[in-house]
């Protein structure tokens, strides 16, 4: 069977994207594509929805399904809005129906979209996480890891463990890699694994590096960047409102609004189309493969954008 794929990215969190009917074997397609292309983090699937403009499913490199992907949602938002000729839409995801909108561009030539990140929960059972019979963990050390790093656990709805770290720890990712791999293997704390992000305060904004469950270190993770902005605001590192979040793949803007005990989160950034492909998709990987590929011109605009912020990003490379 021939399918049409778009290769897309949000903050260099890169995916193949396909529109099609609901079916049970998209995980297999994700596995095939990720073997053929080491640049991609997974597969975005756009499906019909009974109540929304469309439905999004997300499959990681290892074939596991994620409940949400903020960077991927921006790319899906662009596809749906351009197809329907609209500026805003509602996309069904595994845990919530989320609002998306086209926004003023980050820079000329960069299509920019904002997406709602919801729901937000600090209950450890929602990650799930087991630790000393606690119900929450917000800005607390985990002595087994470090007495100095303050950790927070939050589901948005993907599970995240976020540590606030010094520049020294941020520049050497070995500490983060060790614990992230431990928490995504057999361990007593996270039965389903967890996304692990280390956050460092900048002169303006924050820098976030994420080890993503089912992927490994990634250029960017949308829900991780938004959750990190939330924790940074709670910690007093950043004022509530718009936070500039830098990552190895670029920069996004995360808006954190607090209303009593309710948090509203918005992620705004690029939705870039890299290339178009025809793919022969068969059950056996040996019978599958790319039939044609057409490179698009949008990536050069994004590369110009990242050149403008390279001094911030490269200090943690």
Catalytic positions, written as ranges: 69, 221
Contact 229, 238 (CB under 8 A): yes
Query: What are the start-end ranges of the E strands in 104-224?
Result: 112-117, 140-142, 146-155, 159-164, 195-201, 206-212, 216-218
Assigned token pair, 297: 């011109």
* CA distance linking residue 153 with residue 195, whole number of Å: 10
Biggest alpha carbon–alpha carbon distance for the chain: 56
* CA distance linking residue 92 with residue 45, whole number of Å: 12
* CA distance linking residue 269 with residue 245, whole number of Å: 10
């Amino acid at each position: 069977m021939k399918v049409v794929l778009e290769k897309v990215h949000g903050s260099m969190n890169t995916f193949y994207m396909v529109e099609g009917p609901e079916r049970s074997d998209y995980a297999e397609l994700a596995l095939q594509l990720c073997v053929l292309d080491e640049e991609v983090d997974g597969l975005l699937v756009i499906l019909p929805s009974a109540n929304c403009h469309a439905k999004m499913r997300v499959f990681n490199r290892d074939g596991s399904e994620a409940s949400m992907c903020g960077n991927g949602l921006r790319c899906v938002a662009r596809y749906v809005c351009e197809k329907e000729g609209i500026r805003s839409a509602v996309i069904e995801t595994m845990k919530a129906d989320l609002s998306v909108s086209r926004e003023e561009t980050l820079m000329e030539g960069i299509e920019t979209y904002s997406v709602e990140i919801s729901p937000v929960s600090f209950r450890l059972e929602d990650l799930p996480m087991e630790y000393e019979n606690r119900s929450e963990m917000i800005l607390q050390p985990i002595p087994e890891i470090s007495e100095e790093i303050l950790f927070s656990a939050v589901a948005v709805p993907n599970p995240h463990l976020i540590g606030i770290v010094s520049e020294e720890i941020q520049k050497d990712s070995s500490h983060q890699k060790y614990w992230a791999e431990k928490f995504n293997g057999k361990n007593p704390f996270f039965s389903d694994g967890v996304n692990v992000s280390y956050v460092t305060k900048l002169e303006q904004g924050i820098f976030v590096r994420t080890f993503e469950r089912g992927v490994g270190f990634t250029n960017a993770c949308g829900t991780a960047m938004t959750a990190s902005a939330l924790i940074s605001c709670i910690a007093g590192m950043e004022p509530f409102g718009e936070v500039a979040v830098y990552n190895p793949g670029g920069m996004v803007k995360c808006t954190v609004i607090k209303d009593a005990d309710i948090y509203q989160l918005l992620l705004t950034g690029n939705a870039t189309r890299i290339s178009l492909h025809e793919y022969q998709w068969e059950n056996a990987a040996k019978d599958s493969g790319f039939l044609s590929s057409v490179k698009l011109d949008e990536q050069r605009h994004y590369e110009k954008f990242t050149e403008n912020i390279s001094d911030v990003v490269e200090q943690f490379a």
